[in-house]
Chain A
Amino acid sequence: MAYLSQRPLELNELLRAVAAPERGGVSSFVGLVRDHHGGRPVRGLAYSAYEPMAEAVCGEIIAEAESRWPVRVALQHRLGELTIGEVAVAIAVAGNHRDEAFAACRYVIEELKRRVPIWKRETYADGTVEWVEEGRAKSEERSGSSVS
């Protein structure tokens, strides 16, 4: 399964992918498109990626989680145009027990946000469009150093 998808994400598919009779603890994380950002109403957004690197880094993060905890991980991130409430990212983690499932799920979403080359362009209710960087929108004319 590719980690990036142009089509709507289905958490149930990921849950099925990690399910096994011995894995009794399953956790999941779903990130949805919010209707506001920095106090401004958001109409929708578009995700884009450096796709070959994003696929490779997602695979690395999953391998790290699966070697650090006894779990199976499934992950998908959406690309393209999304509207409010649509699923941007979905993660399912199954382990024998809950502790490793929660820990690995948290690890995967945090590392994804930190390392996977994906970008978000928000369209606000007033029609303006901005790239979101480090959790805030950055206008086109702003300059200076940028550290992720």
Chain B
Amino acid sequence: MPAVPSAPPVIRIQLFARYAELLGATQLELPANGINNVRDVLERLRALPGGAAIGAATLVAVNLRQAKPDAPVSPSDEVAVLPPLAGG
């Protein structure tokens, strides 16, 4: 398949449990432009239909580790938005 050299970079987001239901997807892509950190990711998600329930203090994992709001995010990262945990 030919590459598209001018494709704008995206941040790939994984969603789980209630957040996946609310946003109607387990994975989505956000334009990377203007997203620098975890806080920016949450802000974008909250603006999507169904995203209002995603609180500003929601847990986010970057590359399998919990990340603080000011942790940097780039298109090569695996970003996951985690509803309140309920294991055990």
Query: In the complex, which residues of chain B have a beta carbon less than 8 angstroms from the beta carbon of A146?
Result: 53-55, 57-58, 83-84
How many A residues are at the interface, by size bracket? 35 or more
Query: In the complex, which residues of chain A have a beta carbon less than 8 angstroms from the beta carbon of B37?
Result: none
Residue among A54, A109, A119, A134 with max Cβ neighbours from chain B (10 Å)? A119
Q: Which of B54, B58, B64, B83 contacts A53 (CB 8 A)?
A: B64
Q: Which of A118, A134, A142 contacts B87 (CB 8 A)?
A: A118
A50 touches B80 (CB 8 A): yes
Query: In the complex, which residues of chain B have a beta carbon less than 8 angstroms from the beta carbon of A121?
Result: 17
Query: In the complex, which residues of chain B have a beta carbon less than 8 angstroms from the beta carbon of A114?
Result: 85
A145 touches B87 (CB 8 A): no
Q: How far is the CB of B80 from chain A (nearest CB, A)?
A: 6
Complex: A109 Cα to B13 Cα, angstroms = 29
B83 touches A50 (CB 8 A): no
A50 touches B82 (CB 8 A): yes
> B4 an interface residue at 8 Å Cβ cutoff?
no
B87 touches A131 (CB 8 A): no
Complex: A138 Cα to B17 Cα, angstroms = 12
> A18 an interface residue at 8 Å Cβ cutoff?
no
> B14 an interface residue at 8 Å Cβ cutoff?
yes
